Amino acid sequence: MQKHTTISTRREQRTDIAVIVEVCGFDKSGHFFAEHTATLNVSTNGCCFRLRAEIAPDAQLAVQPVSTEPGATAQPVLYNIAWLELLENGALVGASRVQGQTSWCVAFPAAKSSHEPMA
């Protein structure tokens, strides 16, 4: 699994890593969906991924890493949509963690203090 840490002006450092996840929620029509996709990047409190499902900008989604190891399971984590970019076949989603503990298998540095200038 190849990963690359990006530097940005955000409070949390993002790490470019493809983690296979199952994303569940309700689409724009109110129908439940469950879709397998991969993250593009992750942080302590967020992640970015592509979806084929048409979702509302105020949707909440459950995101659960899909383990390939026998007997290993991860709990779903609840996310709000932070931003949404419509694509030809779906959307690029930036999601912010609401509830639950993420298990990205990545060590993140401590978050910047709100008093520190952003780089």
**Residue 38 domain-assigned (yes or no):** yes
Residue 79's CATH number? 2.40.10.220
What mean pLDDT is predicted for residues 53-71?
88
Tell me, what DSSP letter sits at residue 70?
T
Residue 82 belongs to what H/E stretch? strand 77-87
Structure tokens given for 94:
């930036």
Max CA distance (Å), the chain: 45
The structure's pTM equals 0.77
Range of the domain at 68: 3-99
Instruction: Find the length of the chain.
Output: 119
pLDDT of residue 5: 40
Amino acid at 102: T
Q: Which residue has the higher pLDDT, 75 or 116?
A: 75
**Residue 105 domain-assigned (yes or no):** no
